């Protein structure tokens, strides 16, 4: 498999520059997503489910719809207070973690303004309270499944070919290689966005949200 950098180079330096400049001038979750959508949709087109991902996503979608009682998710989300959103995120995270077989023993809402959330292999998952407060597009909900997907990646890598998700060896190799040269976005946001483990996590989360 060719490195993802080959695909990224096709975009050109001008787009990379546009994104970097734009990010410096926009500080809300929705504006950031608008920038990402405009310039990098081609990257998400490379997402392919692996192993048991389709079944896992379907179960997470069922949980999501049940917790919103089958109503329009964004409509309900945008009527919630911050505390109500937090409680919903906690419930959804615990259910998704159980479905996905990922350990979560601590859910933290922090003050980060540089990322929606993150997952630590020690079982702690973080969500940005500032982004949660201004989120009108359900980005924090997507982040639940995005970060937990990173948890399945890590668990599968540790387990190898006997992993419980049915991920094959070529997939694991790509993820291991990606981890060895992982870019967190501080130096090159476009490269960060196109990394295979990020494409996988983002694609999985979107498949849950869209049902």
Chain segment 140-194, per-residue pLDDT in tens? 999 999 999 999 999 999 999 999 999 999 999 999 999 999 988 777 777 788 8
Q: What share of the chain is helix, strand, coil (3-state, %, to 5)?
A: 65, 5, 30
State the average pLDDT for the chain.
84
Residue 48: pLDDT over 50: yes
Residue 14 φ then ψ, to 5°: -65, -40
Q: How far apart are CA 102 and CA 42, in angstroms?
A: 29
Instruction: Name the pLDDT band for 24 (thresholds 50, 70, 90).
Output: very low
Cα–Cα–Cα angle for 94, 92, 168, rounded to 5 degrees: 70
Q: How far apart are CA 49 and CA 201, in angstroms?
A: 10
Coil vs helix vs strand at 110: strand
Residue 138 φ then ψ, to 5°: 75, 25
Residues pairing with 109 in the sheet: 127
In tens, the pLDDT along 92-144 reads 999 999 999 999 999 999 999 989 999 999 999 999 999 999 999 999 999 99
Residue 9 φ then ψ, to 5°: -65, -30
> What local confidence, expressed as pLDDT, does residue 156 receive?
97
**pTM above 0.75?**
yes
């Amino acid at each position: 498999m060719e490195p993802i950098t080959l695909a990224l180079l096709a975009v050109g330096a001008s787009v990379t520059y546009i994104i970097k400049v734009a990010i410096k001038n926009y500080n809300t979750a929705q504006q950031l997503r608008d920038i990402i959508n405009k310039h990098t949709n081609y990257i998400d087109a490379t997402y392919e489910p692996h192993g048991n991902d389709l079944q896992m996503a379907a179960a997470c979608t069922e949980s999501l719809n049940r917790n919103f009682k089958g109503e329009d998710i964004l409509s309900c989300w945008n009527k919630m207070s911050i505390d109500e959103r937090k409680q919903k995120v906690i419930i959804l995270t615990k259910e998704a973690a159980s479905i996905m077989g990922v350990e979560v023993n601590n859910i933290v809402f922090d003050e980060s303004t540089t990322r929606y959330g993150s997952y630590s292999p020690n079982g702690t998952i973080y969500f940005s309270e500032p982004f949660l407060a201004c989120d009108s597009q359900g980005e924090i909900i997507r982040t639940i499944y995005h970060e937990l997907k990173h948890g399945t990646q890590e668990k599968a890598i540790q387990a190898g070919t006997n992993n419980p998700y049915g991920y094959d060896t070529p997939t694991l190799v790509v993820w291991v290689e990606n981890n060895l040269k992982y870019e967190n976005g501080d130096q090159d946001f476009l490269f960060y966005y196109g990394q295979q483990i990020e494409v996988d996590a983002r694609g999985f989360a979107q498949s849950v949200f869209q049902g």
